Structure 1
Amino acid sequence: MHEAYTEFYSHHLGHHVKMLTFGTHGYPLVIFPTTLGSYYEAKDRGLIDSVRWFVERGFIQVFCPDSINDASWYANIHPRHKLERHIQYDRFLYEEFVPQIRWNTPSGRIACAGISFGGFSATNFAFRHPEYVSHLFNLSGAFDIKSFLRGYYDDNAYFNNPMDFIEGASDPNLWNMKIILGTSNWDICLDANLKFSEKLRRKRIDHWLDVRGNVEHDWPLWLEMLPHYVSMI
């Protein structure tokens, strides 16, 4: 399986973003890491090997960009600055990175996957920019960032909190997106997925709430989920 390390300079962030890419062609799949995970996390934890079959046959090409969660949501800074920093990351994705890969296939769209808090990253990007995203795979995702804001709330908070802004969403691309909310009976994010699924149901946004058996919020669950979801692209 072809693997490449790159550093993508972002003018919005003012620094290079480290990234691993697997495969040379195929449907672009962007995987966002967990809470403070890095660009090599998916490889080190076996997630890339779980979809090796699809990569080696050219069905998908996997991109694992680094996050900046340590400099935004988990940084010891004012909540307003957390939001501003995350918006810079969103602009990096939307204006600098994704345009470079979205035309790898005729659809001009990508698939997004996120693990745990990475589910927030994937969902926030996909729902803010649904014209770019065809498939959204949440693996034990979380969708509400209010706990990081310590009571602070403004327009930037609203438009970067999927649990809130989904209620006012109207882009027709959302109703065409293939959305999976993956969780399990023992998942610490089960309740978050049940609540978010209900929000989507009320908006009549089609999705699959995949609640698996008695499996913990951990890598064995996600290694089982991802190849299943990728097979549906």
Structure 2
Amino acid sequence: MQETYHKFWSHCLGREIEMLSFGNWGYPVLLFPTSMGRYYENKDFKLIESARWFIESGKIKIYCIDSIDKDSWYAKHLHPATRIYNHTCYDRMLNEELVPSIRQECNVEKIGVAGCSFGGYHALNFAFKHPDKVAYMFSMGGAFDIKQHLEGHYDDNVFFNNPPDFIPDAQNSHFYDMKVVLGTSEHDFCKGENEWMSQILHRKGINHWLDIRPFANHDWPIWREMFPDYLSKI
């Protein structure tokens, strides 16, 4: 399984950012880490290994981008307005720098995005902010209301990065072309958030799959079962 390390300068972030990619060719999936996770986390916890067949057969190419959660949502030393502003810079890096590069490299119009736990938030938030660039969205154990990280602070940047707030009134024809999976499990403490997001999407007529797996917790073993299953839908 081909593994490539990348480091590139982001003008949007004003810093270098790191990434691993897996595979030589295939449909691109941008995979986010969990809370404050690094670009190598999904490899270390064997999520990449669960997708080995898709990668080695040239069907899928996975890009594991770093997070800046320690400087945004989890940066308790910063004012909440600064935290959310830093996230908007991260979103600009994804939208204006990384994703256009992936689309060009893989010769596709739209990509897939995925993530476990807080990575599921990143995947869903990016997909519904930029649905013209996303064909597949797989969230595994995600939670989507981020207001809890901001001590009551609320502004436009919060609104437009909090999916339960901005999705109900958002209008975009690309929403109805996306393949959306909300993966959770019977004993996942994020199960309620997935059911809530499913209701929001249902009211908008957005087709999706709310996948509630039995007997499992909010942890890597069930996510390693989900991920190859979801990749098989591409």
Give the TM-score normalised by the residue count of structure 2.
0.98
Aligned residue in 2 for 1:195: 196
Q: Is the 8 A contact 1:183 1:193 kept in 2?
A: yes
Q: CA deviation at 1:10?
A: 0.3
Amino acid aligned to 2:143: A
Q: For residues 196-228 of structure 1, what are the alpha-carbon distances to aligned partners after superposition, in whole Å with 9 as ceiling and x for unaligned?
A: 100101111100000000101000010000000
Alignment of 1:192-231 (within 5 A): 192-231=193-232
For the residues of structure 2 that align with 1:198 and 1:209, how far apart are their CA atoms? 10
Please state whether the residue corresponding to 1:24 is helix, strand or coil.
coil
**Counterpart residue number, 1:40:** 40
Q: Secondary structure at the match of 2:18?
A: strand
Aligned with 2:131: secondary structure?
Answer: coil
For 2:38, give the aligned amino acid. Answer: S
Shift of 1:69: 0.2
The residue aligned with 1:156 is: 157
Does structure 2 conserve the Cα–Cα contact (< 8 Å) formed by 1:27 and 1:104?
no
1:132-178, CA deviations, whole angstroms, 9 ceiling, x for partnerless residues?
00000000111011101111111111000001100111110011100
What's the CA shift for 1:107?
3.9
Secondary structure at the counterpart of residue 9 of structure 1? strand
Amino acid at match of 2:33: P
The aligned length equals 233
Q: Answer yes or no: is 1:134 the counterpart of 2:124.
A: no
- Partners of 2:162 and 2:114 in 1: how far apart? 17
Does the CA contact (< 8 Å) of 1:21 and 1:61 recur in 2?
A: yes
Q: Structure 1 unaligned runs (5+)?
A: none
Q: CA deviation at 1:104?
A: 4.2
CA shift for structure 1 position 24: 1.1
Partner of 1:8: 8
- 4+ residue runs over 3 A deviation: 103-107
Question: What per-residue deviation string (whole Å, max 9, x for no partner) do you get for residues 9-63 of structure 1?
Answer: 1011111111100001110001000001110001010000100000001101000
Whole-Å separation in 1 of the counterparts to 2:156 and 2:96: 21
- Amino acid in structure 1 at the alignment position of 2:39: Y
CA distance in 2, matches of 1:106, 1:85: 30
2:70 paired residue number = 70
- Taking every aligned residue pair, what percent have the same amino acid on both sides? 52
Measure how far apart 1:105 and its partner are. Answer: 4.6
Aligned pairs (5 A) from 1:41-56: 41-56=41-56
Note the alpha carbon deviations across 1:49-91, whole angstroms, 9 max, x for none: 1000000011010000100000100002111101100000000
Separation in 2 of the partners of 1:214 and 1:103? Answer: 41
Range moving further from structure 2, 175-184 or 95-104: 95-104
- Matched residues in 2 for 1:50 and 1:173: separation? 30
> With structure 1 as the length reference, what TM-score do the two structures score?
0.98
Unmatched tracts of structure 2, length 5 or more:
none
> In structure 2, how many angstroms separate the alpha carbons of the residues matched to 1:178 and 1:56?
24
Q: CA–CA distance in 1 between the matches of 2:151 and 2:176?
A: 33
Q: What displacement does 1:119 show? A: 0.8
User: CA shift at 1:108, angstroms?
Assistant: 1.1
Partner of 2:25: 25
